């Protein structure tokens, strides 16, 4: 008969991964830009993950003035401060954040349609 002593411990695929943190804090280095469909052709762009050293309200003010859209800063319990803009402003937000050197282009994740 074969020796099965070398198989070691069993593997549980449903157990929590040791050493891996899949929470929101693990994705803090990325800036996520998402678009959400509202009603009809209306959409909403959300920006989360901007570093704490930058003022969200000042960034929002510049975005609103530059791209002629309305928006606000929303406080979320899990995600922190999130910038919301009216319309699909994903490309505009990416362009603004890279040109003003707030975030590098490779740290911006665009989500949506």
Q: In CATH, what number is assigned to the domain containing residue 101?
A: 3.30.780.10
Domain assignment present for residue 6? The answer is no
Total domains present in the chain? 1
Domain assignment present for residue 3? The answer is no
Q: What is the pLDDT at residue 112?
A: 84
Domain assignment present for residue 92? The answer is yes
Mean pLDDT of 64-75: 95
Q: 0.75 exceeded by the pTM?
A: no
Domain assignment present for residue 42? The answer is yes
Write out the residue range of the structural domain in which residue 36 sits: 21-110
Domain assignment present for residue 13? The answer is no
Domain assignment present for residue 15? The answer is no
pLDDT > 70? residue 85: yes
Domain assignment present for residue 12? The answer is no
* One-character DSSP codes across the chain: ----GGG-S---TTSPPTT---SGGGGTTSEEEEEEE-STT-EEEEEE---TTS-HHHHHHHHHHHHT--EEEEEETTTEEEEEEES--HHHHHHHHHHTTSS-GGGEEE---
Tell me the pLDDT tens digit for each residue of 29-67.
Answer: 899 999 999 999 999 999 999 998 999 999 999 999 999
Mean pLDDT of 11-24: 59
Give percent of the chain with pLDDT exceeding 70. Answer: 74
Mean pLDDT of 70-89: 93
pLDDT band at 91 (very low <50, low <70, confident <90, very high): very high
Domain assignment present for residue 38? The answer is yes
């Amino acid at each position: 008969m074969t020796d099965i002593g070398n198989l070691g411990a069993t593997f549980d695929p449903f157990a929590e991964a040791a050493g891996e943190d899949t929470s929101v804090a693990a994705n803090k280095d990325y800036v996520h830009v998402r678009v959400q469909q509202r009603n009809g052709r209306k959409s909403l762009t959300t920006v989360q993950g901007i570093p704490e050293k930058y003022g969200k309200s000042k960034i929002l003010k510049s975005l609103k003035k530059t791209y002629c859209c309305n928006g606000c800063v929303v406080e979320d319990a899990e995600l922190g401060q999130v910038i919301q803009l009216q319309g699909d402003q994903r490309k505009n937000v990416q362009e603004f954040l890279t040109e003003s050197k707030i975030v590098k282009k490779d740290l911006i994740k665009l989500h949506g349609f």
